[in-house]
Structure 1
């Protein structure tokens, strides 16, 4: 999906973009605030303008992917079935024009072309126990952190919310950085330490087999710490150096790979408040978990704009994977009917228990193979209701006949969702800029593999032309 590059925008351009985003989100808030499982109970289709209904009604999923979401597709589906109203065309154009692009600037051959499970640009020891998505992420973010560390003269990298330590392990044993790894879950810390030892043993065996080859950066593993980072206060452990430089000072780089909710905000606050932190490379996620107030807005500019408020539902929607759903639309598989089935189930639940609204339904396997009445019976059982209740089969089948409408409405919301993420990330850029710091957003992951792929890079001093090196990609295996 096309969009505006976040790179190199002036302060005035960032402010104007925030103004435009809040205006557009206010106009279409009803679509973004809607829950797709209430499609029938709240007559969501009826809330759309009649001209929109006419344009979207009957479009098949591949046509929605190409004509509405702007994804590449076959030539024959690119022709509009009917003349679209200007308001719908304006919505599509505006959504594309105002969202930050998630397409990486540097395009290289796919690292999974030869094997979909093994990155060709990550050495085998670092791929063990790591799924393809994570292989891609740790390699790309690790490379960027190494370059940023070199540019800013950092003495230590602090990986906050490090989980099982895959990123920390790659940065230390693969790239030679001094890394402290901070994770709040003691079990994950112990797992990370176990994986460190396993990798060290593997590297040691490789050295014995081939002693002529210089192995991984003297095998210095990351230093793992079990520590909860409170987003409301500064954490001394984050700032505590492993060792100081010969000049006697610590220069820290903070990073977080999909730092959840307020954790990404905590990284920003540590960066802005602590002189020893000279650089930041943070990829956020789980925007619905941001504190309100506290996590958003951060900047004075956005906080002063009318309509800046983002409800839980809007922030949750911003975490959806547009590219992944568009691919599902293009394949037009039966799995797309899940939203329709769940919305039909909601009508039955409301009829039986009017006060029970949007209950969580534990995953029902192989939904696409079930008749709608079978799905409803299993769903009733999962929410504690009698699965043998008499069902109005005619009503359920009428709901199923509107499957494409459900998909179309969800696609509309998905078209707008990147605007919410753009506003949240733009607010962080403005927050840093208001304090005199230098910050940019770069798409570094393939959005098809990792939808939350924009890394916030911040420095205390300008990098000038040297910043462009962060956008390049190393092609050799690491």
Structure 2
């Protein structure tokens, strides 16, 4: 599985990489332990080198948004440049790997419009690539049976079944997804059966994925499922062999589910390989007293005593690759929403202090609000004004417009939190108090976001090390298999029992 860039690291080398990351991150805990919503209430900028903030507050947004990707300017302070370049050197490379070189037997099926119906561009790209990788690994370990964990609506399962003629069992917690998968598979089967008849090629009968509704909460539960009568019958129906080797796969299996798959791979003798692409690190369990938590899982990382916390794992989910192709308007919009949320935190601390103890989440209301506002401006419709008219010291139409948006953002947030809005909330006064600090949010957010790829690397290396600690019985590699601009969570952990 060839290229040294990805697969030649030993357990010792992986642990050295992990320790280098931890050592580098320690002085910057104020970044990865904090949350931007508290930017104003906790005066977060005060923890950052003042020279860095003074430099970056004068930089255009196009430069700031590139910082998480390793971008630096020559005139920036040397300590700032070193911080950014060091982070880039510690992060796992995300450029899509040359898969045909690394997996010589990989054959990519070009998907037709029937089997891709309902897929957006991102999903189609992911399914097309991952299905080819899974098929390649299945041939390596001589299995014809795939277990698709967290199968969703069955897109991957159906491509593996109809395009690669593999026997697939699709597992998902949602019974609704199971029904959708079955109905969709029957429609697709008719298309392929007609195609076979027209080609006069004949061939074996087509099978559709078997769907199983089950919420997989532990490796023991998954092992029990793998040894169940349903799986056994489906497996042996497709194979004349007494044994039925399995391959586990999961496309963006959330939180602990990706880790559960790795444990089941090691603990179940029937599972010969795993192809896992994780997601939602914020949902990982991280209880120190729980030996089966989602992070850390390797002995090496456990020995460091590292604890990340929810804010750090949230940060690991961020995407530098999407930011670097973000247009100026979208970048400004991003920073403005962070400013609104930080000012809204001020509002909560002043009027609803008891709510802050519950880490309030208001969702993506700000983005919807901003889109509506932009559409109104493009169509020449009037925008609502803030309750305070501009005066000679504060104002321009732009200030009034932003203040009005903040008020609507706050009203939406209060509604999402089921809080009754007091009549005495002075939105304009809160925004006026927050406004002097708004220009520092972009620099702070960009510097903090630069830690995201390294934190994700740390989580992924922990999983790789967990497999490498098994010795010669397991061959493991991490590969960036998707185009990161299309699918930022693009790193596949591929492991085979030797």
Q: TM-score range by the shorter chain?
A: 0.7 to 0.9
CA distance in 2, matches of 1:301, 1:416: 22
Structure 2 equivalent of residue 352 of structure 1: 351
* 3-state SS in 1 of match to 2:65: helix
Find out whether 1:423 has 2:458 as its counterpart: yes
Change (3 A) 1:276 1:321: same
Q: Map 1:174-185; keep pairs closer than 5 Å.
A: 174-185=163-174
Measure how far apart 1:343 and its partner are. Answer: 0.9
Find out whether 1:435 has 2:438 as its counterpart: no
CA distance in 1, matches of 2:174, 2:132: 26
Change (3 A) 1:190 1:45: same
Native 8 Å contact 2:70 2:85 kept in 1: no
Q: Map 1:251-266; keep pairs closer than 5 Å.
A: 251-266=245-260
CA distance in 2, matches of 1:393, 1:7: 56
Structure 1 equivalent of residue 362 of structure 2: 361
* 3-state SS in 2 of match to 1:288: helix
Q: How many residues align?
A: 437
Structure 1 equivalent of residue 40 of structure 2: 40
* 3-state SS in 1 of match to 2:199: coil
* 3-state SS in 1 of match to 2:147: strand
Change (3 A) 1:302 1:448: same
CA deviation map 1:423-446 (0-9, x unaligned) = 111111111111121110000111
TM-score (structure 1 length as normaliser):
0.85
User: Unpaired runs of 5+ in structure 1?
Assistant: 72-77, 109-118, 462-478
Change (3 A) 1:157 1:67: closer
Native 8 Å contact 1:174 1:217 kept in 2: no
Q: Map 1:54-453; keep pairs closer than 5 Å.
A: 54-66=54-66, 69-70=69-70, 79-80=73-74, 83-106=75-98, 121-207=110-196, 211-212=198-199, 214=201, 218-235=205-222, 236-239=224-227, 240-241=231-232, 242-244=234-236, 245-293=239-287, 294-306=293-305, 308-328=306-326, 330-336=328-334, 337-357=336-356, 358-362=359-363, 363-364=365-366, 365-367=368-370, 369=373, 371-383=405-417, 384-386=419-421, 388-391=423-426, 393=428, 395-397=430-432, 399-400=434-435, 402-436=437-471, 437-453=474-490
* 3-state SS in 2 of match to 1:219: coil
User: Unpaired runs of 5+ in structure 2?
Assistant: 101-107, 288-292, 374-403
* 3-state SS in 2 of match to 1:356: helix
Measure how far apart 1:180 and its partner are. Answer: 1.1
Change (3 A) 1:350 1:329: farther
* 3-state SS in 1 of match to 2:253: strand
CA distance in 1, matches of 2:80, 2:307: 24
Backbone CA RMSD of aligned residues:
2.5
CA distance in 1, matches of 2:86, 2:286: 28
* Bigger helix share: 2
CA deviation map 1:187-223 (0-9, x unaligned) = 1111110111121223344456xx1265897422111
Change (3 A) 1:257 1:378: closer
Change (3 A) 1:395 1:226: closer
Change (3 A) 1:312 1:393: same
Measure how far apart 1:5 and its partner are. Answer: 4.4
Native 8 Å contact 1:282 1:455 kept in 2: yes
Change (3 A) 1:10 1:292: same
Change (3 A) 1:295 1:381: closer
CA distance in 2, matches of 1:59, 1:215: 65
Change (3 A) 1:15 1:79: closer
